[in-house]
């Protein structure tokens, strides 16, 4: 074991503070990574504040962070795909059983025995896993992906969660040139959804409640922007979408979007509203439309997504902050006051 610098919260109402955590020495299958950037995902905030206590209660102290990009500093003797100095990424998962049908299908995100990057049981050291708000991390090579060197690293970090979460359902639902794709909600997830749909060749319509976001949506790659509060504007698109990505995590009327789908169209939820959504059966019946959800993606697909980003020059739009500003960033995140993701420059952890 060795000591790593980190920022943790001691309780659901405590601010982040500098601390030291234990990391394992790399086993033969491990990769040790010096963390350069870590994105701030809304899940980090939910976990730090124990807002998901009914599903996965937070064990304190908690070190969140699952949008990790860094440089390999050491590899175990059995590691074959990474060497010292390589750029590497780690997302929401750091382990799985590797034997179940989901793992064998490279869909580790559905493994019943998966290990999340933070706040999950640590098989090696006991206690819980600690995430990326730290200067280093040690991860089984199977859960480490290559980060293409042409990507801006601060903007690449959010690809590990926000990126794969929006890329995966678009691949699953066959988004290609000629499809009409809607993206609801222009936040950390939604802005990535617009970029991917555009790069996949779709005709992209961004839905937003705020006219202020129109210019930005067009800049991100939307072909059209619809102000969702306008019933008239919404009606114009009735029955026309192949696919809609719903990235809204607040309560909202999903039926308004279901009606915009064409026959066999699909709307996929990637946001997680706290309360159940009311869904009209008629909206789904008429047109054989479907509603589904999608969480992150498997490791193989995460690598595919990063390579796609490399080819198309895609990264998240980020505001880079030093770790000392993380409490302030959380306050702003609560107000959706960020374009579109915070990325922590982990070099700041070295300063006192
Ligand atoms: Zn996340
Ligand atoms: Zn499995």
Which pTM value belongs to this model? 0.96
Cα(97) to ligand 2 centroid in Å equals 4
Cα(104) to ligand 2 centroid in Å equals 7
Among candidate residues 251, 256, 244, 245, the one with its CA nearest the CA of residue 276: 251
Longest alpha-carbon distance in the chain: 63
The pLDDT score that the predictor gives to residue 274 is 79
Strand spans (E) along 152-240: 180-184, 203-208, 224-227
- Please name which ligand lies nearest the alpha carbon of 45: 1
Cα(23) to ligand 2 centroid in Å equals 24
Taking only the tens place, the pLDDT of each residue in 276-303 is 899 999 999 999 999 999 999 999 999 9
User: Is 126 exposed, middle or buried (CB count within 10 Å of its CB: 0-12, 13-18, 19+)?
Assistant: exposed
- Helices 299-312 and 188-199 pack at an angle, to 10 degrees, of 70
Place of tokens 């600690």: 130
Cα(116) to ligand 2 centroid in Å equals 13
- Please name which ligand lies nearest the alpha carbon of 93: 1
Among candidate residues 14, 143, 71, the one with its CA nearest the CA of residue 347: 71
Output DSSP code: residue 9. B
Taking only the tens place, the pLDDT of each residue in 48-67 is 999 989 889 999 999 999 99
- Please name which ligand lies nearest the alpha carbon of 166: 1
Spell out, as residue ranges, where the chain has pLDDT lower than 50: none
The pLDDT score that the predictor gives to residue 273 is 84
The pLDDT score that the predictor gives to residue 153 is 98
Peptide bond into 61 cis (omega under 30): yes
Taking only the tens place, the pLDDT of each residue in 203-221 is 999 999 988 899 999 999 9
- Please name which ligand lies nearest the alpha carbon of 64: 1
The pLDDT score that the predictor gives to residue 352 is 65
- Please name which ligand lies nearest the alpha carbon of 103: 2
CA distance 264 to 284: 9
């Amino acid at each position: 074991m060795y000591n790593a610098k980190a920022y943790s919260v001691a309780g659901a109402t405590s601010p982040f503070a500098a601390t030291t955590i234990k990391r394992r020495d790399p086993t033969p299958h491990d990769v040790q990574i010096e963390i350069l950037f870590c994105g701030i995902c809304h899940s980090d905030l939910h976990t730090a504040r124990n807002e998901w206590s009914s599903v996965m209660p937070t064990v304190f102290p908690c070190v969140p962070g699952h949008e990790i990009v860094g440089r390999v500093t050491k590899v175990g003797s059995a590691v074959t795909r990474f060497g010292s100095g390589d750029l590497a990424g780690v997302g929401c998962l750091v382990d799985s059983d590797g034997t179940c049908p989901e793992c064998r299908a490279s869909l580790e995100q559905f493994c019943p025995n998966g290990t999340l990057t933070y706040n999950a049981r640590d098989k090696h050291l006991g206690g819980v896993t600690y995430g990326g708000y730290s200067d280093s991390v040690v991860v089984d090579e199977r859960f480490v992906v290559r980060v293409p060197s042409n990507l801006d690293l601060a903007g690449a970090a959010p690809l590990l969660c926000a990126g794969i979460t929006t890329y995966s359902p678009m691949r699953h639902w066959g988004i290609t040139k000629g499809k009409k794709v809607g993206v609801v909600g222009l936040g950390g997830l939604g802005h990535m959804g617009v970029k991917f749909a555009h790069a996949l060749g779709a005709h992209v319509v961004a839905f937003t409640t705020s006219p202020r976001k129109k210019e930005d949506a067009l800049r991100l790659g939307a072909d059209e922007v619809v102000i969702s509060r306008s019933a008239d504007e919404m009606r114009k698109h009735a029955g026309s979408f192949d696919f809609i990505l719903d990235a809204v995590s607040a309560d909202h009327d999903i039926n308004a979007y279901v009606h915009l789908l064409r026959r066999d169209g699909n709307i996929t939820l990637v946001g997680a509203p706290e309360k159940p959504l009311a869904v009209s059966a008629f909206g789904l019946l008429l047109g054989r439309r479907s509603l589904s959800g999608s969480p992150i993606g498997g490791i193989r697909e995460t690598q595919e997504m990063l390579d796609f980003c490399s080819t198309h020059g895609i990264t998240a739009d980020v505001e880079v902050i030093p770790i000392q500003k993380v409490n302030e960033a959380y306050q702003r995140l609560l107000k959706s006051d960020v374009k579109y993701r915070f990325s922590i420059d982990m070099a700041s952890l070295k300063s006192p």
